[in-house]
Structures are given as C-alpha cells and as structure tokens.
Structure 1
Amino acid sequence: MIQANRAIRFIGKQQASLVQGDWDPSPLAANEIIGRTIVSLISNGSEMGAYRDYSGGMKYPVETGYAAILEVLEVGEEVTNVSVGERVLALSPHQAYNRAKFNDYIPVPEGMKPEHAVIGRFPAVSMTSMIHSRIRPTESVMVTGLGVVGLMCAQVMQHCGYEVYAFDPNEGRRATARSCGLRHVYTSPDEVPMLRGNAGLAMDCSGREEAVYALLANLRKGGELYLIGVPWYRSTDKFAHDLLRSIFYGYVQVNSGWEWSLPRQSSEFHPNSNHGSIRKAMEWIRDGLIQVENIYDLYAPSECGEVYAGIADGTLKKPCIIFDWRSV
C-alpha cells in the first residue's frame, strides 16, 4: 500500500519544487495499473508554457509532466497486456508513483533502457504531421528548430526516406544533429540555394515567425507547411501581409502540427494513432534507427528548480532532460 507520494509542481511563476504529492487511496480499478516511476521526461516547450505563464493568469500550484516510464507494481483484474515487474510508458506527471488506465500506457519493448524508452514520446509529436502529409519521400523536406522535437522530427523523416534539410541558428544544436546522423544541417535555408522553390514539405518545430518566413520562401508551388512548434509568443515585428502573400501566390497548404489530431488509439478504419506512433518510435530507438544516446542528461527530481531555470535561460547543454526517480 502506497502511503505517500512525491511530485514536482510549479508552485509559482518560474518556481518549481519537489513537494508532497497527492495519492488516490481508492481500490485499484479492474482496468488500471499502479506503477513506480523510474524516469520522467521534460517537454521543453509545453512545460515552459505553464512555468513561464506565457498566456497570463496561470493559477499555481500546477501539476506538470509529459511522459514517464513506470515499473508496474499492481494490475487490475482485466489488465492482460502487462504484468507486475514489467515497464510501461505512460503520459503521466512527474511524481514517484502513478496510476494509469488500460488505454493510457504503452508496454516498453524488452531490454530498452528506461531513459531511451521515455524519449519515444517525442518522435510521435511530428509523426502526426508526417502521417497527414501527402508529400512523399521522393521530395525534400525542411525542418526548422533542432530542439528535441525538431531533432526527432528530422531523424524520423530521414529514416522514412525523405531527403531532410535541418536548420537551427544554434551551433550546439547543429552539432548534436550531425552526431545523430543527420546529413544536411545548416544555420538557415539561405545556405542551400538549390532548395529554393523545390522543397515539397516544411516542418517548423521552432514556433518562431522568422523560421516560418524562411520555409515559405523555399517551398515549391503547392508545397505543404506544418506548424509543429507552439508559437508561445511574438518574436518579430513583421506584418502578416508578407506571410499571406507567400501562402496565396505559392499555393501553399498550411497545416496545424497538433499531434492530437490523431486519435490516441487505433481502430478498424483509423489505423494510425498517437499511441501507435509512440510504440513505433520506441522500436526505432531500440533498433538504433533513431539516435538518442548522447542527447539527454539525467537529473534528480530534487534538482527541478535549477533544471527548469536552466531550460528557461538556455544554459543547459543537452536538448533533452530526464528526471531519474530511482533514488526517490
């Protein structure tokens, strides 16, 4: 019986702390599991929205978290796909113990490091856009913003046969991208004049207006642009007229890259799903088809205050940050 829990919470604007967490003491439902968290993953984008209160009016404290690897401690009587002692990836908050229903977790492939498996959450973000796109791997794709979502996006697209051109103004991010096997990595599309008017697909993972303008300038007529990075705040003084003109005369299809436009679970007439993307991403990571070994750092949950501050001010070196709960 779990008597207490520990959790990371945003207790105020730009304030994170490891605190006493809540725990539901009700009996385990037939379709539920209880798991002990091994590692949990930070979303540098989504969690910053609450941490920095970009939209204003956030009411603290705030539960936070993006994905976690759980070691199963208990299973309900209707649960058949995992057993006690096995590991699952769940979209659970940063806390020492979590409950998850049957449809809210994905079994981890046998033998995977938990810190590798949890990164499987990130490729799924852009895989939604790739699944929706009508642009096929015979064409070039541009990816802007090589934080962890963009880094995973570029690797997934390259693995699936696209000729990928990846861009980021940060040299450290570009070096990481090259170390992961990406073949064409540059500061901006201006360095690749042969792309101009020829690229079929553009994936913006930065959420920055200037990146979107650069992508539009290089798409072919009738190309597609997916906005995967959340535009949390305004970053330029440009007018919308230039943007609208580029879209109109370029016959460009602009699409939201919202990952949840796919259902969580597959069904008979909808085989693609968010959980299916996570499952496939974990398999690709396990098989070495997506490189993750050198892109993350592990931190103790007690270091959360310094970790989130480091993400906010850009001083952390690795694009991916994982909390290690094994000592909690």
Structure 2
Amino acid sequence: MHRESLYFTAPETIDLRETATTYSADEILVETQVSAISGGTEMLIYRGEAPNDLPADETLDALNGDLSFPLRYGYAAVGEVIETGSAIEDKWLGERVLAFNPHETYFSAAPSDVISVPEEVEAGEMALYPTVETATTLVLDGKPQIGERVAIFGAGVIGLCTVGLLATFPLSELLVIEPLAERRKRARELGADRVVAPSELSETRWDDATGPSGADLLFELSGHPPALDQALNLAGYDSRLVVGSWYGTKPTTLDLGGDFHRDRISIQSSQVSTLAPSLRGRWTFDRRSAVTLQNLKELPVDSLVTHRIPFENAAKGYRLIEDHPEDTLQVLLTYQ
C-alpha cells in the first residue's frame, strides 16, 4: 500500500513523500487519524540541532537509523486498524490504537507495539499519551515528598503535564519558572502555587527558619541550557535537580564553582525510554502504562492543544511552533 510520510530533509525543511508499507502475518495495518508534534526532540531535529550520528531511538522499531537528514520522525500516532495479518485475530479490526510511529498516513505494527485507546478517550487526547508518560516518569524519578518545595523550569506541554501531576501532591509549594505569559497562566490553572518569569527569579527565595533554604526538588524542562544554572542557584542543601530536557547540540555550561559543591546537590537525568534502576524491582513498563492512562484521563490534556493542522499542511505546524511560541502549545496533525 502506498502512503505519504513526513521527512525532515534539512534544517527547517520538511517534505511529504510517497512511500510503501506492507504488513506481515503477525502485524496490523493502521490508518492514521491524528499525530502530535513534539516540541522538544522533534523540534531539535527540525532546526538541525540534533547530533546526526545518534540513533533515532534504539527502543522503538519504527524509528530506525540515526538522526541525519533525511529522516522520518515522530512518536505519537493514533489511528484505526483497517487490516490484519493472517495470524492476527479479527477482533483487532476497527480498534483504535496509539503507536510510537513517525508522521504518515498509514503504518504497520505488531499488536504488542501499540496501545489500545480507551473508549472514553478521544484520538487527539490519546496523541498526548507520550507526553503524559514522560511527565509520569519525571515524577517517578523526582520522588517528591510531603511538604517539599518544588520548582519546575519550563511550562511547555511536558512541563504543564508535570505541573498537573505534582499539584495533586501535598507539597509546601509548587513554583513554575516560565518566560511566556500565556504559559504562566496555564501553569496557574493546572495548580501551580506561584509562577514567575526567569527575570524575576533573583527575587525568589525560600528562607525557612525550620530547615535549609532553597528548593528541595527541581525539574529542568525548558530545553534552554542556561536554565540549569538558574536551577542550581535556586537549589537548596541536599536538593535534587532532575533534568528532563534534551539539548541536542546546544552547548551547556554549568557554573559549579559556587554553592554546588558544598550543598551536595544531586543532578539526575530522566528519560522515558527506560525505567530508573531503583524502580525496576516493582515497576514495569506495563505498570507505568496503566498509571499513564489514568493520568491521561484525569489531566485536561485537550486544553493544551492549540492547533489542529491537516497533514498536507504540516509545514505550517512547525513554523507556528518556531515563530509563535507565545500562541502555540500543542500542535496536532490531522489526517481526515
């Protein structure tokens, strides 16, 4: 079967190409209904800021090869099963599924590589499953504790979902640092106790006579390397800084000559493709998936979608994210 696939061909250049797809006896064929553009990794690829010799994703069969141009990319496609291989039960026909698959009109996958869409969840909402899964992983890695002071740098889609999850915890305070006013507003709506612009951060202090000053737990989710230094300046003694951003080829310089050494600050990376070693005794990918689906139903993810763009006009979606971040949050590509 012929399909159209989105290719990144050069910095800030995409192309829709006709490709062929087949499916084996133990695979399903899916007609895509909607896919989500990632504002993080995918936009680094779009800008040409991803290291081109890095594997696209060694944990996902649909993302083979490296990050050099030209390449297909994307990992949030939702569609309907329209055909099945001879070894697949007919019950799969008509099933709505999500796959970690690039943007294209049709794709094939093994049933074990897709997630069934709950009946009460819309296709556009399910396209944000990978985002909510990332936010769930961040919270698992951060291990927030009762009464802690928590700061989040960056209120993009992942940052806002993380805000929504952490707002359910009995924290002392949840602070969000974000340069765009509209995103600061959304962070408040999702439960942040306090929201400031980066320029106001020097005026932000946590002084507590009952214990160490500064934040206990911080998340860097802005994708902006200088935010790491800002986070370190806000961090308190024995605090944890979880870095969920991937900076690609953007240079990152940390000032570790101040209080970092004496304050025993821990910096930890968080990435959704794996589970933290400390969690693997009791957590599996299936367990995290079940928790993610529950979080997806409880978070107002539909309110984070600002644009729905027909697949044939996909270039417009990337330009909106790049040129108008103040008005653009989550862009979905539609296929019908």
* TM-score tier after normalising by the smaller chain length: 0.7 to 0.9
Distance 2:184 2:98 in 1: 29
1:28 CA drift (Å):
2.9
One-letter amino acid matched to 1:167: I
Q: Kindly indicate whether the alpha-carbon contact (under 8 Å) linking 2:154 and 2:222 is maintained by their aligned counterparts in 1.
A: yes
C-alpha separation in 2, matches of 1:219 and 1:78 = 55
Query: TM-score when scaled to structure 1?
Result: 0.84
Structure 2 residue corresponding to 1:247, chosen from 260, 270, 279:
260
* Shift in CA distance, 68/160, structure 1 to aligned 2, threshold 3 Å: farther
Q: Which residue of structure 2 aligns with residue 314 of structure 1?
A: 324
CA deviations 1:73-132 (Å, max 9, x no partner) are 234566579622121111011011111223321111112111111112102223223223
CA offset digits 1:119-175 (Å, max 9, x no partner)? 121022232232233442431211101111111111122234444211101112112
Give the counterpart letter for 2:33 in structure 1. Answer: I
Q: Which residue of 2 aligns with 1:109?
A: 118
* Alpha-carbon distance in 1 for matches of 2:131, 2:207: 27
Counterpart CA distance in 2 for 1:122 and 1:83 is: 25
The separation in 2 between residues aligned to 1:212 and 1:280, in whole angstroms, is: 29
RMSD: 2.7
Q: Name the CA distance, whole Å, in 1 between partners of 2:232 and 2:154.
A: 15
Render the CA deviation track for 1:8-57: whole Å, top value 9, x for unaligned: 11132211132213312x5332xx22211111011111112221211465
**Closer, same or farther in 2 for the Cα pair 1:83/1:303, shift >3 Å?**
same
1:220 corresponds, among 236, 239, 263, to: 236
Q: 1:90 to 1:143 in 2, by over 3 A?
A: same
* Alpha-carbon offset, residue 255 of structure 1: 0.5
Task: Say whether 1:136 aligns with 2:136.
Answer: no
**Structure 1 residues 108 and 161: alpha-carbon distance in aligned structure 2, compared to 1, 3 A threshold:** farther
CA contact (8 A) 2:308 2:331 kept: yes
Q: Equivalents in 2 of 1:46, 1:4: separation in Å?
A: 28
Alignment match, 1:159: 168
Write the deviation string for residues 234-275 of structure 1: whole angstroms up to 9, x where unpaired. Answer: 478xx64x3354331110111012222328xx98x44242x5
Residue of structure 1 in register with 2:57 after alignment: none
Task: State the distance in 2 between where 1:52 and 1:295 align.
Answer: 23
Contact 1:207/1:232, CA 8 A, preserved across alignment: no
Give yes or no for contact 2:218–2:241 (8 Å, CA) kept in 1: yes
Identity of aligned residues (%): 23
1:54 partnered with 2:49: yes
- Pick aligned residue for 2:315 from 297, 305, 314: 305
Moved more, 276-285 or 109-118: 276-285
Provide the secondary structure at the position in 2 that maps to 1:317.
Answer: coil
Q: Distance in 2 between matches of 1:165 and 1:114?
A: 32
1:34 matched to 2:29: yes
Give 3-state SS (helix, strand or coil) of 2:118's partner: coil
Q: Secondary structure at the match of 1:293?
A: helix
Residue 260 (1) aligns with residue 273 (2): yes
Amino acid at match of 2:6: I
Quick one: structure 1 residues 235 and 11, their matched pair in 2 at CA, closer, same or farther if it must change by over 3 Å? closer
Q: 2:154 aligns with which of 141, 145, 155?
A: 145
1: CA distance, partners of 2:14 / 2:165: 32
**How far is 1:61 from its partner?**
2.1
Residue 216 of structure 2 aligns to a residue in which SS? strand
Q: Is the 8 A contact 2:237 2:264 kept in 1?
A: yes
**2:261 is the alignment partner of 1:284:** no
Across the two proteins, how many residue pairs are aligned to each other? 312
Structure 1: tracts of 5 or more residues without a match: none
Contact 2:132–2:296 (Cα < 8 Å) also in 1:
no
Q: TM-score if structure 2 supplies the norm length?
A: 0.83
Distance 2:145 2:257 in 1: 25
Aligned partners of 1:271, 1:290: CA distance in 2, in Å?
A: 22
Indicate the residue corresponding to 1:11 in structure 2: 9
Residue 254 of structure 1 aligns to a residue in which SS? strand
Verify the 8 A CA contact 2:220 2:243 in the aligned structure 1. Answer: yes
Greater shift, 208-217 or 174-183, is seen at 174-183
**Aligned with 1:17: secondary structure?**
strand
